[in-house]
Structure 1
Amino acid sequence: MNNKPWLAHYDKGVPQTIEYPKVPMFHFLEEAARKYPDRACTIFKGAVISYKEMNALSDHMAAALVEMGVKKGDRVGIFMPNTPQFVIAFFGIMKAGGVVVAVNPTYPVDEILTPVKDAGIEVMFCLSRFYGKMKEVRAKSNLKKIIVTNIKETLPPVLRFLFTIAKEKKEGDRIDTLDANDVLMQDLLKKHASSPKPQVEVSPEDTALFQYSGGTTGVPKGAVAMHKNVVANTLQMKAWFVTAEEGKEVTLMGIPLFHVYGMIAGMAFAMTIGASMVMVPNARDLKDVLENISKFKATLFPGVPLLYNAINNHPDVKAGKYDLSSIKACISGSAALMKDTKETFENLTGGKVFEGFGMSEAPTAVTCNPLLGENKIGSIGMPLPDVEMKLINLDDGETEMAQGEIGEIILTGPQMMKGYHNMPTETTNSLRQLKDGKTWLFTGDIARMDEDGYFYIVDRKKELIKP
């Protein structure tokens, strides 16, 4: 039996295997700053930060973190939506040798406490409008210092002034005083404006980030990804995107950066091709999404079916108010992509939507439909380069199923997580060494594979009820 039929259906130019550099994740930003120094890294409400500037700002932030006592391996939190400050904090933490733990800013206090306590977060980057919530978290945890940033700090001067007088107080962004141990992010950047990147050795084997996910069980688990896992997954995506034009793409960053889908499929991938990232803090604000696509001519738009469907049905889109013709490629994840949603969006934009599949444990992308080959509706596509994937018997957990038969997806590859933080039993259940000597990730997803190596998810194992 050909156990990798998908290889015959890879797009021309997609390699079967990749040579991965032994570098930390922030290498992508440093390389983009070297190759595309003056190209926009982030665009936010019209304010541009170049790749050269972003690299320098993250160096300064890393120096500030080291000075305040952050040591290699310390977990540092980020509690904010998609903003330039998120990118500065993200790479600043990594350059300081820290581990990024991004937390959904819409979570209530009780749900924030789980990652804060489990990861042992003592320093947290926080948007000013969430400062009150974060102080509640501190009162119930070992969180010591909150680094506060106002959403207006990277706005152009005129917009910053208008925001201050019209929205800042109303939207809860204004803070008159900080608690004694807390500090403004902009003050740290000013203080360290001439500070170089600290001399902290970060290796590919070091932990890069924790991603917490409740999954279907509702029990939050912190998937631990090393730098080499994240680097591998990012380069797998770059290899897959044979149509991407380096130094020319514009990514509409609507998927949240506080999730690995946004971090890797959005931000890290964009950096590998020198794409400009148009930051959208709240993708539910469809007017903001549509205006940004139209104004900045976004070419790449990673998202979810719900978002594409909402755009399809927006009255202003139906009326032709927005020019969406710049869009070339969209990766869709997190839920099944319906035929009508896909075809309607493609007709509106002229671009293509490609369904993929990923999970926090891998740490995001695992499969995708090809960009040039057959795009099969209802399929999550085929495994990315260096991803081995098979279906195994639901009862014995080892016998490989034949093509067309139903089984649990298990996979192995260079992007696979190290394990779950502080959860040895769950780690052992998910990462298992089989007779072939390889360690496989048991996904809990039930699927079938067709003759071309395309996979189709049909169920979740934990939801199956046996008679």
Structure 2
Amino acid sequence: FRQLLRNAPASPPDATVNPREDVAILQYSGGVSGTPKGAMLTHYNLVANTMQFREWFSALAGGKSRFMVALPLATTYGLTCLLNCGVHIGASLILIPRFKTDPVLKLIVKTQPTFFAGVPTMFAAFNNHPHIEKFKLSSVSYWNCGGAPLPLDVMRRFEQLTGRRLIEGYGLAEASPVTHSNTVRGRRKVGTIGQPLSDTHAKIVDMENGRELTVNEVGELIISGPQVMKGYWNKPEETALILKDGWLYTGDIAKMDEDGFFHIINRKKDMIISGGYNIYPREVEAVLHHHPKIKEAVVVGVPDNYYGEIAKAYIFCKGNRLMFEDEVIDFCLNKLAPYKIPKIFEICKPPRHDLRGAELRRHLLAESNKDKTGQKKDKTGQKMEEIVK
């Protein structure tokens, strides 16, 4: 890197940029269909969302704030809310290579950050630390939570411990990412994603005919604003599904109450959010289908007290083959990121002939929801469930 700097010309090359049209980054997302696609975020998108987020947190002192960067900067959440916003206001950035509860708590005490943005799993980890009361966290004036739904018990426990408000927001990669947030001060509604940021329009529409719905009616959340992407890279058909007449169709089922606060009811798409990371079932299933013993695999999200959701894989074997959990995990190790590997595996008898595709997924998800304990199988190489007859 030092050699690169020494070889660089004294005057940087003159590059002409059209902020509204030129793509700054390709942020890969599953979108509505669940298959990875590159969201084209322009310079204008990223700058606009940075300024929107900064105005929402207008009390952050320029040149005096200290941001603790515990999120990956490869995500739009980390990029916009920490790196870009921090640089925009001249904040100090305290970089953490990897989140680990005890070292992060000690670093907060040592460095005295004033702003912390994280995902629900991080705040649950703080809550569950055996000596959390011994750590002085009062330097942090603003705690922000996004990336996944924030459980109410996690929010309440954390606010009890710190005496500060934990501000929940909402966004998606296709919107750079922030579109909604609860207020830093003043009125908020716990359990909602808050209200749209400045210059952001949001409404709820009927999922069948696109008709705009009224207060407290449930439909799909759609968004319009300067932070909305240009489209998907080389995916015109996928772009047409999500961008219509200047509106971004989020694929999330929601409602707006009489005070303009938005409530997320469910996700239209099958994406699993585990500890703030997005897991796309079709991507995991594609890997599992390459295993020589597996005839079919279905991956669904099941509730988990720590991660919010974890991936569970239902395995349908070929013939009378036997499967072991360690065997499947080893097969996945070099083919999937660690967080994408299912935490639970279940060997199943062949499904009814009338259950295939989406119908099979819905059936298995309904079955898994009957047991919300999210208990993992042990990893001693035992037979995972029963022998497939």
The answer, yes or no, to whether TM exceeds 0.5 is yes
Give the corresponding residue for 1:411: 223
1:448 corresponds to = 255
- Aligned to 2:173, the other structure's residue is in SS state coil
Correspondence list, 1:379-458, <5 A: 379-397=192-210, 399-433=211-245, 439-458=246-265
Residue 351 to residue 198, structure 1, CA distance change in 2 (3 Å) = farther
TM superposition shift of 1:315: 1.8
Match of 1:231 in 2: 47
Instruction: Report the structure, 1 or 2, having the larger helix content.
Output: 1
TM-score w.r.t. structure 1 length?
A: 0.56
Distance 1:216 1:440 in 2: 14
Report the secondary structure of 1:302's partner residue.
strand
Is residue 273 of structure 1 aligned with residue 89 of structure 2?
A: yes
Does 2:14 align with 1:199?
yes
Alignment of 1:41-60 (within 5 A): none
Looking at structure 2, the residues matched to 308 and 331 of structure 1 have their Cα atoms a distance apart, in angstroms, of 10
The secondary structure found in structure 2 opposite 1:361 is helix
Show the 5 A alignment for 1:5-404. Answer: 185-192=1-8, 195-205=10-20, 206-215=22-31, 217-283=33-99, 285-318=100-133, 320=134, 322-397=135-210, 399-404=211-216
Q: Give the distance between the partners of 1:281 and 1:217, measured in 2 at CA.
A: 32
Give 5+ residue unaligned stretches, structure 2: 271-357, 364-389
- Residue 359 of structure 1 aligns with an amino acid whose one-letter code is L
With normalisation by structure 2, the TM-score equals 0.67
Structure 1 residue 286: deviation in Å? Answer: 1.7
What amino acid is aligned across from residue 244 of structure 1 in structure 2? L
Structure 1 residue 217 displacement after superposition: 4.3
Structure 1 spans left out of the alignment, 5+ residues: 1-184, 434-438
Q: CA deviation at 1:189?
A: 2.3
* Residue 456 (structure 1) shift: 0.5
CA contact (8 A) 2:32 2:251 kept: no
2:207 and 2:257 map into 1 onto residues whose CA distance is: 18
One-letter amino acid matched to 1:270? G
CA distance in 1, matches of 2:11, 2:253: 49
Contact persistence 2:201–2:224 (CA under 8 A): yes
Cα shift readout 1:410-461 (whole Å, capped 9, x = no counterpart): 111111100000111000111011xxxxx11111000011111000000122
Matched residue SS, 2:118: coil
Partner secondary structure for residue 355 of structure 1? strand
Post-superposition shift, 1:247?
Answer: 1.5
Give distance in 2, aligned partners of 1:219 and 1:447: 23
Q: Deviations over 1:225-283 (max 9, x none)?
A: 11111111111111111321112111110011011110001111112221111000101
Q: Is the 8 A contact 2:220 2:254 kept in 1?
A: yes
From 267, 292, 295, give the equivalent of 1:460: 267
Deviation readout 1:281-312 (Å, 9 max, x if unpaired): 101x2233112211110110010011011011
CA distance in 2, matches of 1:429, 1:204: 25
Match of 2:376 in 1: none
Count how many residue pairs are aligned between Structure 1 and Structure 2: 273
Alignment check: 8 A CA contact 1:328 1:350 kept: no
Q: CA RMSD in A?
A: 1.9
Q: In structure 1, what residue type is equivalent to 2:198?
A: P
Do 1:401 and 1:407's aligned partners in 2 also have CA atoms closer than 8 Å? yes
Task: Flag the structure with more relative contact order, 1 or 2, with Cα contacts below 8 A and sequence separation at least 6.
Answer: 1
Normalized per residue, the structure richer in strand is 2
Deviations 1:111-136 (A, max 9, x none): xxxxxxxxxxxxxxxxxxxxxxxxxx
CA distance in 1, matches of 2:7, 2:108: 36
Q: Give the share of equivalent positions with the same residue, in percent.
A: 41
Q: Is the 1:327–1:349 Cα contact (8 Å) retained in structure 2?
A: no
